[in-house]
Structure 1
Amino acid sequence: MLKLGVIGSNWITERFIDAAKTSDSFLLQAVYSRNIENAKQFAQKHQASYYFDSLEALASSDVDAVYIASPNSFHAPQAMQLMKAGKHVIVEKPIASNFALAQQMYQVAQEQSVILFEAYMSSYLPNFDIVRQSIPKLGKLRKANINYCQYSSRYQKYLDGENPNTFNPLFSNGSIMDIGFYCIAACVELFGEPRSIKAQAALLESGVDGHGSVILNFGDFDAVVTHSKVNDSYLPSEIQGEDAALQIDMISLCQSVKWYQRGESPLSIGVKQHTNPMYYEAKAFAKAIGLGRIHAADQHRALITSKVITEIRAQTGVVFPADNETK
């Protein structure tokens, strides 16, 4: 049983703790928060033995692995500090504020012989695997429309004059770093590194993107990505080949997958998944620690996704203070 520490005390941390416990691979040992009272209350709620408001104390503790769910701008510095202390790390997506920092993180992981794992849950879902295995059966790929638009619960606060983390460049946030990440990562996972990228976005006054569109070219077919945190969409994503097409309901969760064959009725090819979608990534993280190595394809996807998103931000004019850390 691996001793687990967590950074963050929000709903997504609670969901990962549940997934980790359900996987029968982890025992929650420690909680870190910048506010010691928050850390104490969260630790008591989830029966953790220790709580800290010092990252140095967490790094010096006897935990084997740490789940990081802090704001995006903290991912790289926190992960590298913990890895240098010999801890395995699973970092909530996106792995870093930019490509250069992501590269530095994997370099530290290699030097310290620890596992660095990006918590991109979609890739480990059974239905995503069905999509992955079905693509070669579609015939020559021609088009992909990857869509994820969801009105942020914090957007009204932003409109009211507050500056929530969700729309604050200080925390390396915005639509492409959050909602859009799932679309870009899915494309990289399924199609590889794009040959060219064309991006546009509508920037909020804070400096981050509220929504945007991206065309990723993969030679003889394009993937069109639509993402937003300021409006909802109810459209599924679709991958189109010359022989058939796949339709995916909610690209982040792959809630259902349908096969469309020309001249035939749609066929549901998805399977029932665990109620906690993070269960599968928790199992994969534990397996990587047990093997002593991360799957090369997982590292490649994380790095290329970070590279693509960094280029998208360059084209759309989204700049983060964290970008200065790599100059």
Structure 2
Amino acid sequence: MTIKKGRCIVLKFAIIGTNTITEKLIEAGRSHPEFELTGVYSRNQERADAFADQYGAPLRFTKMTDLALSEEIEAVYIASPNALHAEHAVTLMKHGKHVLCEKPMASNQQEIAGMIDTAKNQGVVLMEAMKSTLMPGFSAVKQHLHKLGPVRRYVGNFCKYSSRYDAYKQGEILNAFKPELSNGSLMDLGIYGIYPMAALFGAPRSIKASGLFLESGVDGQGSVTADYGDMEGVVMHSKIIDSHSPSEIQGERGTMIIPNISEPENIHILHRDGTREELTAVSDFPPMYYEVAEFIDVIRRGTNQSSVNSFEHTLITARIMEEARRQIGLLYPADE
């Protein structure tokens, strides 16, 4: 239920997952006057209690059914392993909970389609928590895209050496490198290049993908080339190397430079006449704030999806990634 808090309506959130990404979500959410952390879910009671105590959440859950049935929780942020997203989301939505689900939304298109159907049938909001496309920088990209003239190439580059890769090389396989959890470079990092491409240009005619496999069975890096007919999209991703090259949108009248595709800021256009145009798009809040704000706004508007992180964009992205996985031979247990 909603309650009054000053002039604002407070939305009572629970979070699934007690990791770095949930910590960032909570810190960002607290910048929003309508966000209230009410509950924490973890399969481990001690971990749930410690995390809830740290962030002042009064409710702690170790059973999904208890969280789903709680009348004190209105919305849930899901940051469990990718392979569990669909199961958790469907269970919660069937009990009337709005769901903000960490990217990637689920393991494959079939799971996502089921999640979307559930959201529509239950009249609740479901949104993929892709932060970058909701930040002011991405709004600036869309606003100024026409200045490039006909766009001929989109380059989405996100290669970041994983903090867990050193442990992997020492023989400790953490969740980020476990195929049974639907993880890997494409799903975890490639999506940062693919989702904006889908949001800007829609579905490609076809794609070609390559990937480098690690011994655990996940992809450590790879690339996707998308054919749009009059333009191409090129996405590069890796969890085992760093890249310091920016992402770009290349047009006949100029090129837009995006230094960090996962958190787009400091964007500029290099025009054909040699001039440089800075695109002023200041982020006044932490990067994840904007997905929280959009999610809450969608709920308050009474619609079931975001116009930016929409069902369409989520499904296009999922189709691209699933086809890329098919081409490189990467199957998850969830695909069977």
Shorter-chain TM-score: which interval?
over 0.9
Of residues 257, 282, 291, the one that matches 2:267 is 257
Query: Does 1:206 pair with 2:216?
Result: yes
Q: Paired residue for 1:9? A: 18
Residue 25 of structure 1 is matched in structure 2 by 34
Which residue, out of 110, 118, 126, partners 2:136? 126
> 1:193 & 1:147 partners in 2: Cα distance?
19
Q: CA deviation at 1:228?
A: 0.4
Q: 2:31 touches 2:285 (CA, 8 Å); kept in 1?
A: no
Partner Cα distance (2:265, 2:144) in 1: 16
Match of 1:318 in 2: 330
Residue number in structure 1 paired with 2:190: 180
CA offsets, 1:191-213, max 9 Å, x none? 11111100000111111110001
Cα deviation per residue 1:123-163 (whole Å; 9 max; x = unaligned)? 11111111112112211111122111000000111111111
Match of 2:202 among 178, 192, 217: 192
- Aligned-partner SS, 2:180: helix
1:83-98 matched pairs, under 5 angstroms: 83-98=93-108
Q: Return the alpha-carbon distance in structure 2 between the equivalents of residues 291 and 200 of structure 1.
A: 42
Structure 1 partner of 2:241: 231
For residues 304 and 228 of structure 1, the distance between their equivalents in structure 2, rounded to whole angstroms, comes to 21
Matches within 5 A, 1:1-327: 1-62=10-71, 63-293=73-303, 294-297=305-308, 298-324=310-336
Q: CA deviation at 1:103?
A: 0.5
Mapped contact 1:179–1:229 kept (Cα < 8 A): yes
Q: Partner letter of residue 127 of structure 1?
A: G
* Alpha-carbon distance in 1 for matches of 2:142, 2:37: 33
Looking at structure 2, the residues matched to 270 and 202 of structure 1 have their Cα atoms a distance apart, in angstroms, of: 38
Please say if residues 144 and 239 of structure 1, whose CA atoms lie closer than 8 Å, have aligned partners that are also in contact. yes
Rate the CA distance shift 1:38–1:13 in 2: closer, same or farther, 3 A.
same
User: What's the CA shift for 1:29?
Assistant: 0.7
Structure 1 gap segments, 5+ residues each: none
Distance 1:311 1:86 in 2: 33
Q: Secondary structure at the match of 1:48?
A: coil
Deviates more, 1:230-239 or 1:263-272: 263-272
User: Amino acid of the residue matched to residue 202 of structure 1?
Assistant: L
How far off its partner does 1:296 sit? 4.6
Q: Equivalent residue of 1:256, what SS?
A: coil
Matched-pair contact (CA < 8 Å) for 1:207–1:319: no
Q: Deviations over 1:236-295 (max 9, x none)?
A: 011111111100011010121011111323222132213410111101000111112123
Count of residues in Structure 1 that have an aligned counterpart in Structure 2: 324
What secondary structure does 1:178 align onto?
helix
Using the TM superposition, give the Cα deviation of residue 308 of structure 1 relative to its aligned residue in structure 2, in angstroms: 1.0
What do residues 69-127 of structure 1 show as CA deviations (whole Å, max 9, x unaligned)? 11101100000000011100000000000011001100000111110111000111111
Name the SS of the counterpart of 1:151 in structure 2: coil
Which ranges of structure 2 fall in alignment gaps of 5 or more residues?
A: 1-9
Please tell me whether the aligned partners of residues 11 and 75 of structure 2 are also in contact (alpha carbons under 8 angstroms).
yes
Letter in 1 for 2:321: I
Return structure 1 stretches of 4+ with deviation > 6 angstroms.
none
Q: Which amino acid aligns with 2:194?
A: I
What is the root-mean-square deviation in Å for CA atoms of aligned residues? 1.0
How far apart in 2 are the matches of 1:296 and 1:248? 22
Q: Which moved more, 1:290-299 or 1:277-286?
A: 290-299
Q: 1:315 offset after TM fit, Å?
A: 0.7
> TM-score scaled to structure 1, two decimals?
0.97
Letter in 1 for 2:306: H
